[in-house]
Structure 1
Amino acid sequence: MNKIYLILLLNLFCVLIGNQASAQSKYVSLSGNVKTSDGKPASFVSVALAGTNKGTMTDDNGYYLIANIKPGNYTLKVSFVGLKTQERQVNVTAGSKNQVDFSISENASQLNEVVITGSQTLNKPVALGKANIRPLDLPQSTGVISSTVIADQQAIRLGDVVKNVSGVSLTQTRGGVAETFSSRGYSIGVAGSGGSIFKNGIISNTQGFPDASTLESIEVLKGSSALLYGNVSGGVIINLVTKKPRFDWGGSVSMLVGSFNQYKPTVDLYGPISKNLAFRVVATHENADSYRDVVHVNRTYVNPSLLYKIGTKTDILLEGDYLKSNIVPDAGVGVPNNRITITEVPKQPRNRFIYPNWAYNNTEQGSGYLTINHRFTDNWKLTAIGGLQNTKVNGFGVGVPMTIAANGDWTRTLSAVKSAEKDYSAQINLNGAFKTGFLGHQLLFGTDFTRIVAQNNTFKYTSAAGVVGTAYDKINIFDPATFNVRTDIPAIADTALTTTPQNRMGIYAQDLISITSKFKVLAGLRWSYQKAYRTTIFNYDRQQERRGATADKSDNAFSPKLALIYQPVQTTSVYASYTNNFTINSGIDIFGNNLKPSIVNQYEAGVKNEFLNGRLSANLSVYRIRNSNFAQTALVDQNGNPNTNTNIKTLSGETTSDGLEVDLNGSLSKNFYFIAGYGYNYMRYTNTTGVAGSQVEGERLINNPSHTANGSIFYTFDGGSVKGLKIGASAFYTGKRFGGNNNTVGVAPGELNSTRTGVTTANPNGTGKTSSYNALLPLTGFTTVDLSAGYSFKHISLLTKVANIFDTFNYVVHDRYSLNPIPPRMFVATLAYKF
């Protein structure tokens, strides 16, 4: 298998290079470098050929490349928001190197001031796309939140940042130690095995919260991305882009202080070590109490990196980061009698903490990444990325409050975690541009591999009196006098270690085909292979190792993508696309075979617009995502008898997610920018068997708000007595949604007790069943508003913010069983010095 795989890669590589070489005589490329007046690279500057749809943006080193050009005379335009557009007449000829360099009038410092605002334009290339496709050529909804927005909003957590993207919402806080997000009806989780959160394009475990305030940007790719990444969420994937080394000296130091004794110093230093070697170091420490009693955070994060240039064609980037996060876990306020509504909030004050005051959750994580970029020619580039991440979590407390009586009584049981996850990742991407006849091609061909090894311990708990077991005590969540009835910390001992390995790999190819300057087609195909190995269980008492009961399980799937793109003018793109992703299923079919993956089909149409020379972007997309072979409990077994085993399933169910997203972003001057977005989603079960254990048809899935909206605006005065003054406002809306658990069919009408609310469901099979009980937790929509104000003088700046200024009260959900109150009105300020 491995040999065949390697031979296929080599053969295809040779064919592609051959095609490229045969086309060089007819179509050529134009490249060059854009520098500032003091000789520094000018990054993120637009370079385009007037009167055509050919254009690009300079990279971090000021380099640009425009491929597939017919020889001839052109007007080359260099522009950026807040700068005067420069033009130059160029003659592009065959058989020679066409290089045109520019020097803009601003120096590096002046350009950086412009970039602060100009980088807020919506349609920017995303590294997640792997192919560096021009934003208007990409038939997919994206979002990029820059470090400027992160700094202006004084955001720290990933959840504080992604809510700036339409249709993306924070849905869970997972015990106060991690975050889960939702988009288009689908969730993405914490661990690397979830596969939907990346760092610099490499799969990442986000346990312990990544530090968003230290990032260069956060990229969001909405909808299915299985073509590029395999088994990922069908709703969204997120990429954390760390700050990179620079060949000019600079940096900053800052101190953030806020409510509840929060303080967070940050240092960012960069510069050249030699002509070809540059460095960057970002470090921060956070120490804070919380609006929740007892809760405390102590976190340290360091991100060093080195960039080495080997000549003009090869770059080697080495990055590492280290996170140590000590947090008091907090699974929320509980749900008495499995029901709660916003009208019951007065029973549960926002600060009320119902867990032992000795509980802890400590995370230690180290990561390393190596990226090699090599440019064979102006048209062909190879990128190789490797990554290693090691995450260790050690925590002890009590379990999530799943069963609290109506009067507030809760029997607390001990719960601990000691886990480790090692993620090994590698990918190789070949990008090329060439012509076949009148067709232009922008090709991506690649392969990736990921190995995830997860380890989890089980425990034995012993009280000071020598009693062994998980029982701890009983409290009443409405009566503070009963909190922490016991304060002793039981002894804990490891009993067994379970190791679960998993391998994932894929081969993919994608081609953006330009039929004319207005009509384009994007087509691609990926083959993915995934294998979950049989677990090994080591018993500490017996010092013996045994194999788990579940055998190795292999899955594979093809993921195609096809999109049609029409660009009536250079600044407008209309597209329609089909793509799919797949989800791995547990359980067996009626014959005892492992279930195949469910194939989830997505249809999307949209329009992307740029106005005012790229200073204003307006995008709209609509979608339908349908899982027509959703796994659900089988009606009958292999003998035709009624099935009562919920592990025996069939791929005959269905879920449907319909939605719309609107994004409007603008940088109307170097002093002013705004971000606005709206998302609608309707995710529900659209076909179920009606048999016991199956879902209720027509019911919305939990943790998916029907409406979300966001808006931010910032303005900096640059003249008069108020020069240097910055003002801003941000508002975020999360609509109605359900927490709790989705209902299942299986309880006869006469079997309901006083703690359950029966819901009769239409059942095509005539079994007369109802849902098990009304397990949904209805949550109302809410809006939070933040106001910001600051002042800058030369190298010093002060920015302040009042978050949730109207003190809105609402909840996010913790793992379906409990609710966490959102933060109250809070104050934060950041004093910074840039040099």
Structure 2
Amino acid sequence: MKLTKLFILLAAMAIAQEVDAQTTVKGKILNQKGESLAGISVHGSNKHTKTNDQGEYELYIPTAGTFQLQFTGIGFQKQELAVVPQGTITELSALILQQNNQQIEQIDVKGYNSVNHRSLEVSKSGVKDLDLPQAVQVINSQVISDQQINVLSDALKNANGVALGANRGGVNENFYARGYSLGTNNIFKNGARTNNGGSIEASTLESVQILKGSAALLYGGVTGGAVVNLISKKPKFEHGGEVAMRIGSYNQYKPMVDVYGPLSQRLAFRIVGTGGYAESYRDQVESKRLYVNPSLLYKISDKSDINVMFDYLKSDFTPDFGIGSVEGKINEKVGRNSFINVPWAYNKTNSSNAQVDFGHQFSDDWKLNVLASYQKYLRDYYGSERIQANAQGIAPRALNRSEQDELTFNQQLNLTGKLQTGTFQHQVLVGADADQSKVKNYAFNIFANGTGENVAPSTAYDNINVFDPYASGMRSDMPTADLKTRTNTNISRYGVFVQDLLSITDQFKVLAGIRYTYQKTGRSEVYDYKTNTTSVTENPGKDKVDMGDKVDKAWSPKFALIYQPLKATSLYVSYANNFISNSGYDVNYQPMGPSLLDQYEAGIKNDFFQGRLSTNVTWYKIINNRYAQTIIGDDGKVADSNMKEFTGRSASDGVELDVAGELAKGLDVLAGYAYNYMRYLETNENGILEDMRLVGTTAHTANGTVFYTFQDGAAKGLKLGASVFYTGKRNAGWNTTKANQREGLDRIIPIGAFTTFDFSAGYQYGKWNILAKVSNIGNTFNYYVHENYSVNPIPPRSFTTTLSYRF
């Protein structure tokens, strides 16, 4: 009897305990806009459910005591919550899930915030900027919006140390950084090499990221100045978008649209597009543009995603070589608006990009990224160029007709991860990349003197008086042009690299890495349309024997010491190198190897006021001790222009200052200054003069932008902003050689410094926003010059207004 009572008592206690342990947890899941989220998975104590259409869930938990709930959903960051049961029913407050756009880390576009504690796509490694021993700058989408930026050159005015060195024909922007041209190899879109022809559309970008200095470790055959990575806007798992209309001086109009949202729980889309038409302060010059950028993001699983992006740009410009030169110099008597090209000249470009970007998160520490892309670039050009007038202003106009067809493929694999060996922490990047470029250049026979059986091709069109370019009787017809030759050139690049950020202590770190690059430039194949034959342009060596394709091989190391005495301060010194390919052969008739450039850099990165303001200072020196020069014989003559030797030296050094921050809510600042001195240190007796600033480089550049948005009161929503841009003295023309000096010839065209001021004012009311800007308020007059024939005046005072609606 006693035993029976004991069993009954124990059973009652067990049932009471089981009843006390049972609870049903209830709650609701919202997004950042406060909207209900359906289909969110809720896990706890081996139980599982999903939210309904109202974002609500109920989950029975059979275990006793505190338990963990885990919330996961496609396109949202995983979140965990510790729950203490509150009886048989446990009701939780609404939980807000943060959106996950499946990027390494999204750049904050709400303000000009510091990026020192963020990892950037341009670094590939996931290393936060404060740990990166290299100067980095980001022009984010708010800067792009505030300054009403249209093309890449507008954005890069905010990147100190990066300057527009030339704008040949008004259709081919060429940027310089740290004394080196960015050329065609240093501009990337989402990590893949892209062509700068047609003026890259920048109004639709998420950000422009600039990695200054040598980036050969990560990108291979790039010059040592900087690489620019353009980040496209990505799909989002929430509905939204924006439509806008931009109008401005010279009949500019530009509609813009940006729409995004989920197509399912796993698939999101985004479509960005713009177009427009604009005339110019230059007579007869106009541009027509169309850009569209659709993309899809598919969430394969919680750990894997794939992003597919395509964009297309059609950009038609009137080629404009500006006011030309008079006796090799700039003559301000030629009007700022004077158009000297032929009236029917055209430059039509079409470019398209497609990318597939796959990411897989093995764990919290290890991630794999695979990228494959292609770009197609087409250019069709016809007009006159090289306007070089005599003292009376008379310049012969010669015609040029060309087409270019460029197809580029790129493949990349990057593995990033963290591991520990003893007390040391490692942040590792292992990568491989390849790209293949196939270029077709078409040349034409031009019949400027008419056509006929006995009429020979001629490019001589007419003569023009640059002081009176619109005189009556000027020729205006478009001569016939027939295909002459097609030249095919293929370039292949392959590289493998490894990088390790070693944390010895919390304060002291070491970054080390090395890359091997193999680059092959194929011999050109020339097809003659008249004879229907193909010939190979040989790479001649000894006794004119063909040496075959040009091959370059190079190792690119990097080593840096990093010291962080405070969490917001980082000091570093680094060494890296990059290579420049050379043509020709040495005295033994062996192909010239690449020139190796040594780059030394030291810098300080600082965040102040809890990260609201960053101030970064950088010093650098780039030395080329293997500058290839044509060999001059003992008799002072050149016997073979292809025979060269590594006897020259050049140097580029300078300092850079970056300032960015949101000093107070609504108060954004962005500023910078850079100094550069690029020159030759040693050349042969016919080489360029030593210690003379190289053409295209700029001594001093500076920029500053301040925007303030009123946060409350009667002026709430009002935005005021101002920007100032300074471009220092430059040299145009050609660098004077020692042979020129002996002949008393000076080929340099000195260009003075100039400063422009912009002022912006706008107002936001609900979802509507209007922003107006006056550019170059002081109507400053200056030029961008390519050599001595494309002399393009900078834009005068102008007005721009954008009206937008967000939904």
TM-score normalised by structure 2 residue count: 0.85
Query: How many correspondences in the alignment?
Result: 709
1:348 to 319, 324, 334: 334
Q: Distance in 2 between matches of 1:538 and 1:621?
A: 50
Within the alignment, does 1:655 sit opposite 2:650 as a pair?
yes
Q: How does 1:211-290 map to 2 (within 5 A)?
A: 211-290=201-280
Tell me which residue corresponds to 2:595: 598
Q: 1:830 to 1:596 in 2, by over 3 A?
A: same
Q: Distance in 1 between matches of 2:292 and 2:30?
A: 32
Q: Distance in 2 between matches of 1:818 and 1:484?
A: 25
Tell me which residue corresponds to 2:383: 397
Alpha-carbon contact 2:439-2:489 (below 8 Å) kept: yes
- SS of the residue corresponding to residue 489 of structure 1 reads coil
Q: Distance in 2 between matches of 1:585 and 1:524?
A: 25
Query: 1:119, CA displacement in angstroms?
Result: 4.8
Show CA shifts across 1:252-296 (max 9, x none).
000000000000000100000000000000010120000110110
Within the alignment, does 1:560 sit opposite 2:550 as a pair?
no
Query: 1:718, CA displacement in angstroms?
Result: 1.8
Q: Distance in 1 between matches of 2:500 and 2:473?
A: 61
Equivalent position amino acid for 1:211 in 2: E
Tell me which residue corresponds to 1:498: 487
Q: Distance in 1 between matches of 2:361 and 2:446?
A: 58
Within the alignment, does 1:686 sit opposite 2:676 as a pair?
no
Q: 1:293 to 1:35 in 2, by over 3 A?
A: same
Q: Distance in 2 between matches of 1:803 and 1:747?
A: 41
- SS of the residue corresponding to residue 149 of structure 1 reads helix
Query: 1:647, CA displacement in angstroms?
Result: 3.0
Q: Distance in 2 between matches of 1:420 and 1:815?
A: 25
Within the alignment, does 1:673 sit opposite 2:668 as a pair?
yes
- SS of the residue corresponding to residue 268 of structure 1 reads strand
Q: Distance in 1 between matches of 2:112 and 2:437?
A: 36
Within the alignment, does 1:570 sit opposite 2:567 as a pair?
yes
Q: 1:288 to 1:483 in 2, by over 3 A?
A: farther
Alpha-carbon contact 1:37-1:105 (below 8 Å) kept: no
Q: Distance in 2 between matches of 1:336 and 1:734?
A: 24
Query: 1:650, CA displacement in angstroms?
Result: 1.1
Tell me which residue corresponds to 1:530: 519
Q: Distance in 2 between matches of 1:636 and 1:808?
A: 50
Alpha-carbon contact 2:329-2:788 (below 8 Å) kept: no
Alpha-carbon contact 1:331-1:818 (below 8 Å) kept: yes
Equivalent position amino acid for 1:531 in 2: K
Q: Distance in 2 between matches of 1:107 and 1:517?
A: 31
Q: Distance in 1 between matches of 2:605 and 2:169?
A: 39
Tell me which residue corresponds to 1:587: 584
Query: 1:815, CA displacement in angstroms?
Result: 4.7
Within the alignment, does 1:545 sit opposite 2:534 as a pair?
yes
Tell me which residue corresponds to 1:315: 305
Q: How does 1:82-161 map to 2 (within 5 A)?
A: 116-123=109-116, 124-161=118-155
Q: Distance in 2 between matches of 1:119 and 1:165?
A: 13
Q: Distance in 2 between matches of 1:206 and 1:798?
A: 30
Alpha-carbon contact 2:30-2:97 (below 8 Å) kept: no
After superposing on structure 2, the runs of 4+ consecutive aligned residues of structure 1 that deviate more than 6 Å are 102-108
Equivalent position amino acid for 2:495 in 1: G
Identity of aligned residues (%): 45
Q: 1:484 to 1:832 in 2, by over 3 A?
A: farther
Tell me which residue corresponds to 1:487: 476
Q: Distance in 1 between matches of 2:441 and 2:649?
A: 33
Q: Distance in 2 between matches of 1:490 and 1:217?
A: 44
Q: Distance in 2 between matches of 1:324 and 1:197?
A: 19
Query: 1:824, CA displacement in angstroms?
Result: 0.2
Alpha-carbon contact 2:761-2:771 (below 8 Å) kept: yes
Q: Distance in 2 between matches of 1:490 and 1:365?
A: 27
2:724 to 704, 719, 731: 731
- SS of the residue corresponding to residue 151 of structure 1 reads helix
Alpha-carbon contact 1:390-1:421 (below 8 Å) kept: yes
- SS of the residue corresponding to residue 692 of structure 2 reads coil
Q: Distance in 2 between matches of 1:574 and 1:711?
A: 25
Alpha-carbon contact 1:37-1:106 (below 8 Å) kept: no
Q: Distance in 2 between matches of 1:115 and 1:595?
A: 47
Alpha-carbon contact 2:112-2:669 (below 8 Å) kept: no
Show CA shifts across 1:356-402 (max 9, x none).
1100000011110000000111111100001000001011011222x
Within the alignment, does 1:178 sit opposite 2:172 as a pair?
yes
Q: Distance in 1 between matches of 2:748 and 2:645?
A: 25
- SS of the residue corresponding to residue 567 of structure 1 reads strand
- SS of the residue corresponding to residue 444 of structure 2 reads strand
Equivalent position amino acid for 2:489 in 1: T
Alpha-carbon contact 2:603-2:616 (below 8 Å) kept: yes
2:372 to 379, 386, 393: 386
Q: Distance in 2 between matches of 1:816 and 1:40?
A: 64
Q: 1:741 to 1:158 in 2, by over 3 A?
A: same
- SS of the residue corresponding to residue 172 of structure 2 reads coil
Alpha-carbon contact 1:117-1:669 (below 8 Å) kept: no
165-174 or 458-467: bigger deviation:
458-467
Tell me which residue corresponds to 1:710: 703
Within the alignment, does 1:410 sit opposite 2:406 as a pair?
no
- SS of the residue corresponding to residue 227 of structure 1 reads helix
Q: Distance in 1 between matches of 2:663 and 2:618?
A: 24
Q: 1:376 to 1:272 in 2, by over 3 A?
A: same
Tell me which residue corresponds to 1:63: none
Structure 1 gap segments, 5+ residues each:
1-32, 42-87, 91-101, 109-113, 753-757, 759-772
Q: Distance in 2 between matches of 1:204 and 1:311?
A: 31
Structure 2 gap segments, 5+ residues each:
1-28, 38-79, 83-93, 101-106, 540-547
- SS of the residue corresponding to residue 701 of structure 2 reads strand
Show CA shifts across 1:117-139 (max 9, x none).
33532434321110011111000
The structure with the larger Rg is: 2
Q: Distance in 2 between matches of 1:556 and 1:282?
A: 40
CA RMSD of aligned residues (A): 2.3
Q: 1:563 to 1:174 in 2, by over 3 A?
A: same
Q: 1:107 to 1:561 in 2, by over 3 A?
A: closer
Query: 1:464, CA displacement in angstroms?
Result: 6.5
Alpha-carbon contact 2:114-2:607 (below 8 Å) kept: no
Alpha-carbon contact 1:117-1:671 (below 8 Å) kept: no
Query: 1:89, CA displacement in angstroms?
Result: 12
Show CA shifts across 1:290-326 (max 9, x none).
0110110000000000000011100100000011111
- SS of the residue corresponding to residue 136 of structure 1 reads helix
Query: 1:37, CA displacement in angstroms?
Result: 6.9
Q: 1:118 to 1:151 in 2, by over 3 A?
A: closer
Alpha-carbon contact 2:450-2:480 (below 8 Å) kept: no
Q: Distance in 2 between matches of 1:609 and 1:40?
A: 41
Equivalent position amino acid for 1:713 in 2: V
Tell me which residue corresponds to 1:50: none
